[in-house]
Every structure is written in structure tokens, then in C-alpha cells.
Amino acid sequence: MFDSLNIPTDGQKVQFLNGKAQDTPNPIIGFIEGDGIGPDIWSATQNVLDEAVRIAYDSNKQIKWVEIFAGEKAHKKTGEWLPQQTTDFIKEFGLAIKGPLATPIGGGIRSLNVALRKQLDLYACFRPCRWFTGVPAPVVEPQNVNMTIFRENTEDIYAGAEWEAGSEASKEFIALAKKHGKILRDGSAIGLKPMSEFGSKRLIKKAIEYAIEKKLPTVTLVHKGNIMKFTEGSFMEWGYELAKEEFGAQTISEKELWDNHNGVAPAGKIVIRDRIADNMFQQALLRPAEYSVLALPNLNGDYMSDALAAQVGGLGIAPGANFGDNRALFEATHGTAPKYSGMDKVNPGSLILSGVIMLEYLGWTEAADLIEAGLEKAIQDKQVTYDFERLMTGATLLKCSEFGNEIIKNMKSA
Ligand code: NAD
């Protein structure tokens, strides 16, 4: 099935136990270069990841990369934007990392990213948002932001169930709504917002497990349940229910905290609480230090992740991953920035830090820490790409590849 992919014979398939990747010295991992600036940022990222692993583990560990294809490169090679072989590879081997993909114009694909998440059932979008010392940021105290977002990836208004104004389907839904006592304006476009107990609970479970593993103090369910009671309100209720049923020993609800513990969490207990989404946007700016893990439905999560990324310095260094059961796809969160294609100019930080999440997922924390420290030092030394250089005084402008090399230099001298 993978004959044309050159799978290294000395690599191993990553094994999973209870949803966690087991230590694998030579894991086979797929990479998708991506379109536009993708090849530039991937090249810098691959060098940094390989070098960090070599410095941390010498010859005892090494990633065995396999190029898999999606986007324009896949289309040129196979005539398809997302070949079946690519999704089959990720289902079989579990891990891949990707650069950004352009949305094909015409051709019936809404978004390759959405298609990948759907076909692989990558239901949890993971976005850590923290500030690195020296990064130009628009807020006064960016150091107070250290939040990790778990965004539901498969449901909500993004499920793709929407119909044009005046279409047969829209008319039928308007008539059906009327039958059930809801008057909708004739001629409206219609979109559905499905949210299930299954979909909400598996996402919130990942968020709580993460908080337990990282010993973080709170998990906040972010919703608009005050208005959308049966969808977002249920998201919140299912969250509290899950915490009680499956993590009763490790968690406490905010209500119980105030009812029985004077607002002080018993040692080792994670506080589960909820915030209305609009309030959460204020909280993120006014009291960011009080939040650690956020679990959100799809749309709220989309908005919140870009807002928090901006708060700590922008998309150039905002990493991401999409998790399913026993599989994960790590990715730069920005797009293909086509005007900078092939210029070796943009910031590779987003993809490099997505690689850091991947190393942590593999349990290779020594290599992950080396990269984070190397990147932070490069920024502190003001050796940066154009997006930061133009906002700093006295900074040296580096190309994309040079920024990667600067991180490697810092790792070597650490
Ligand atoms: P974009 O993120 O590609 O670019 C917007 C602007 O952000 C750029 O012009 C640039 O100024 C800046 N930027 C982006 N990445 C940067 C980096 N690494 N370093 C420095 N600056 C950076 O958004 P867009 O122009 O709206 O979208 C272009 C294409 O990318 C579209 O086809 C879109 O569908 C696709 N897209 C893909 C993904 C993905 O693959 N995850 C995400 C968003 C958009």
C-alpha cells in the first residue's frame, strides 16, 4: 500500500498504550511540506528537530522521516489534492507533521485541513499559547499568558451542514422549524449546529487528562450556554458530568469549591469551571494568569486560539496539533502566506514549536526543551525574522533558514 513512499526499513511504527505514544527510538513519522511558504519553514524545522534529537540522544534516537503528500505537490504528482495514501499512512503510522496547505480553488474541497481532520477523526485541536521572553506583544504583561486550548474539531457550526438561501433544503428546514414552533425568516440561508455528548465528552476528557498530566490548576469550559442552551449549554453540563464520573478523585467543580472549601482547592485537585465565551475574551486580557487549560466547542475555540496567539506575539510562533485516538497531526497554525513563497523570509517558529509538541508527545522532553530554550535565546538576542525585526529596536534581520540555524547554534552551546 505504501510502496511508493520509501518507508525506512530501520524505522519503527509508534505504538500507543492507553492513548499515549510509547517510547520508540526510531519512529517513522510522516511530513507534508505544505504549499506557499511551507517548503521554507519545513526545511528549517526538519533541521532543528533532527539536530535537537542528535544533541539530546546522540545515536540512540532518530526520527525516520517519510514524505507524504497533500496540496499542490500532491496534485502535481497524482492529480489529487489529498491522496488516499496520505490519510492511510497517518492511520497506519499514527504521527505526521505538516506545513500549511492552500485551499484548492474550484474542485469541491472546502479546506484540505478540514478534510484531513474529518477523515482522520482528529477531534481535539490543541493550541498552547505562551509568551517567549523578548517577543514583541501587543499587551502590557504577555508573560501572564500561559493557556492551553483544546478545541473540538468535528462538530458545531463547522460540521459543514449548511444550505444556501432559497435552496430546497433551506426551505424544508424553515418549514420544519415552523412545525416545531420556531419562526425563521423566509429566504434565509440555514446552517446547523450539531453538538453531541460523545463529541463534547471525548474532547473535554483530553483537556482534563492534559491538566492532570501537567499538574495544572484549572480546566475552564468556555461556552455560550446562556443563549444556546441545548448545544453550548449541554457542552458545559457534559463537561461537569464527565469530570465527576471519570475524574472524581482528581477534580472539583468551582461550585463545590465555594460551597464546601471556601474557594481554596484541596491539594492536587483540578478545579473544573465554566465561563461564558464573551466574558472569557475579557478574562484572557484582564486576568490571564488565572487560566491554564481551556476546553471549547469548535467556533469559540477557533476565535479564542487566534486571539490568544495574537496576545503573545502572533501567528508566526503559534504552534498546533490535532489529536485523535492513537494518532496526531502537528501543524503550523498560519496559512501559506503566498506572497512570501520561496523567499526564505518568514518565521518558521510556528512549525518548529509544533515539532516541539510532537517531541513531547513522543516523550522526548530533553530534545523539546533544547529547542524551546534555543528559540527563546534567539529572540532574546534579537536574531529574528522580518515579522519580529520590524517591531524590535536593534534587532538583526535573519532569513527563515538562518533563524533555524541560530536555534541550532544556541542548542549546541547550551
Ligand atoms: P496566512 O496565514 O497565509 O497569511 C496572512 C499573513 O500572515 C501573511 O501575509 C503574513 O504577513 C503573515 N504570516 C503568516 N505566516 C507567517 C509566518 N510564518 N511568519 C511571518 N508572517 C506570517 O493567511 P491567508 O493569506 O488568509 O491564507 C493564505 C492561504 O493559506 C489560503 O489558501 C488559506 O486557505 C490557507 N490557510 C491554510 C491554513 C493551514 O494550512 N493550516 C491555515 C490558514 C489559511
DSSP class of residue 156?
G
Q: What is the pLDDT of residue 311?
A: 95
- Kindly give the distance from the C-alpha atom of residue 33 to the centroid of ligand 1, in angstroms, as a whole number: 15
What is the C-alpha to C-alpha distance for residues 402 and 319, in angstroms, rounded to an integer? 20
The amino acid that residue 242 corresponds to is L
Q: What is the pLDDT of residue 108?
A: 65
- Kindly give the distance from the C-alpha atom of residue 369 to the centroid of ligand 1, in angstroms, as a whole number: 27
Query: Hey, which bits of 255-388 come out as E strands?
Result: 270-276, 293-296, 319-324, 327-332, 383-384
Q: State pTM to two decimals.
A: 0.94
Ligand 1 atom closest to 350 (CA): 18
Q: What is the pLDDT of residue 20?
A: 83
Ligand 1 atom closest to 333 (CA): 41
> To test ligand 1's pocket by mutation, which of 334, 379, 399, 400 has the most ligand atoms within 8 angstroms of CB?
334
- The catalytic residues are 158, 224, 278, 302
Q: In the block, which residue shows the cell 546522540?
A: 58
- Kindly give the distance from the C-alpha atom of residue 110 to the centroid of ligand 1, in angstroms, as a whole number: 16
> To test ligand 1's pocket by mutation, which of 336, 379, 386, 401 has the most ligand atoms within 8 angstroms of CB?
336
Q: What is the pLDDT of residue 107?
A: 60
Q: What is the pLDDT of residue 183?
A: 94
Residue 1: name the closest of 121, 119, 83 by CA.
83
**What's the length of the chain?**
414
Q: In the block, which residue shows the cell 505504501?
A: 2
- Kindly give the distance from the C-alpha atom of residue 67 to the centroid of ligand 1, in angstroms, as a whole number: 22
Name the residue with the closest Cα to ligand 1, atom 27: 335
DSSP class of residue 253?
E
What is the C-alpha to C-alpha distance for residues 185 and 351, in angstroms, rounded to an integer? 45
Name the residue with the closest Cα to ligand 1, atom 43: 335
Q: What is the pLDDT of residue 5?
A: 83
Name the residue with the closest Cα to ligand 1, atom 30: 335
* 50 in Cβ contact with 63 (< 8 Å): yes
What is the C-alpha to C-alpha distance for residues 129 and 284, in angstroms, rounded to an integer? 11
Q: What is the pLDDT of residue 90?
A: 97
The amino acid that residue 222 corresponds to is V
- Kindly give the distance from the C-alpha atom of residue 337 to the centroid of ligand 1, in angstroms, as a whole number: 4
Ligand 1 neighbours (beta carbon < 6 A): 100-103, 113, 315-316, 331, 334-339, 346-347, 350, 387
- Kindly give the distance from the C-alpha atom of residue 254 to the centroid of ligand 1, in angstroms, as a whole number: 39
Q: What is the pLDDT of residue 104?
A: 74
Ligand 1 atom closest to 332 (CA): 41
Name the residue with the closest Cα to ligand 1, atom 12: 337
Name the residue with the closest Cα to ligand 1, atom 9: 337
Q: Residue 334: how many CB atoms within 10 A of its CB? A: 23
Name the residue with the closest Cα to ligand 1, atom 22: 316
* 43 in Cβ contact with 67 (< 8 Å): no
**What does DSSP say about strands 64-67 and 28-32: parallel, antiparallel, or unpaired?**
parallel
Q: What is the pLDDT along the chain (414 residues), one digit of tens a residue?
A: 777 888 889 999 999 888 788 989 999 999 999 999 999 999 999 999 999 999 999 989 999 999 999 999 999 999 999 999 999 999 999 999 999 999 877 666 678 988 899 999 999 999 999 999 999 999 999 999 999 999 999 999 988 899 999 999 999 999 999 999 999 999 999 999 999 999 999 999 999 999 999 999 999 999 999 999 999 999 999 999 999 999 999 999 999 999 999 988 889 899 999 999 999 999 999 999 999 999 999 999 999 999 999 999 888 899 999 999 999 999 998 999 999 999 999 999 999 999 999 999 999 999 999 999 999 999 999 999 999 999 999 999 999 999 999 999 999 987
Q: Residue 76: how many CB atoms within 10 A of its CB? A: 9
Name the residue with the closest Cα to ligand 1, atom 26: 335
- Kindly give the distance from the C-alpha atom of residue 315 to the centroid of ligand 1, in angstroms, as a whole number: 8
H or E stretch at 126: strand 124-130
